[in-house]
Amino acid sequence: MKRSWNPGLWAGFVLVLIGFLSYPLFFARFPLTRDFPWANLLILALGLLLIGIGVARAFSRSDQYRGKISGSILAVLALVVTGSFCYGVFAMTRQLPASHGSPHVGELAPDFTLPDSKNNPVTLSALINSPFTPNGSAAAASASGRTAATVLIFYRGYW
């Protein structure tokens, strides 16, 4: 008797791949799905479930369903992909050293001068005290027309 195809295995594996790749390609763009990757975990879990059902079928009813060998290979691969995702999201991005020397609330921000994107030198203290300009540098202007507050953001770069 010809045994029938075991589609859950393949569908599950495709879902696991989508669950992994859709994070950097799509879900990481939105804070709601980036900060905690619940959407991706859901897709990965669904994929693993389908593979689990497929493998169980292949072994318990091997007279009817194929997939003993391919199912085992796909299951291992899917677990590796899911494990890499969890490592990347829950461990790798948290490997940041402690920062004791960065300015604390209430301290003066250490001054500096750095070139902007047009190679003009920009000094923090000058910026903080600068008069407000509509497309200017600091964050906001007070009623007196001076900068009220500056938001300074450090980025990882390599954009």
Partner 1 sequence: MIAISVDTPEQSQHLRETQGYTFPILSDARDEVIRRWDLVHPHGGPDGVDIARPAEFLIDSSGKVRWVNLTGDFRVRARPQQVLAAFDGMNSVDASSVLTRGSNAHGHDDVAVAAGFVSEGAELAGGLLVL
- Residues of the shown chain interacting with partner 1 in the complex, contacts defined by CB under 8 A: 23-24, 28-31, 34-35, 84, 88-89, 92-94, 96-97, 99-112, 114-119, 122, 124-125, 127-129, 132, 134-143, 146-159
| Least Cβ distance, residue 56 to partner 1 (angstroms) | 31
**69 versus 153: smaller Cβ distance to partner 1:** 153
Residue among 2 and 119 whose Cβ is closer to partner 1: 119
Give the separation between CA 122 and CA 125, rounded to whole angstroms.
Answer: 9
Tokens 């199912």 label which residue?
A: 71
Closer to partner 1 by Cβ: residue 69 or 157: 157
DSSP one-letter string for 11-62 = HHHHHHHHHHHHHHHTGGGSHHHHSS-HHHHHHHHHHHHHHHHHHHHHHHTT
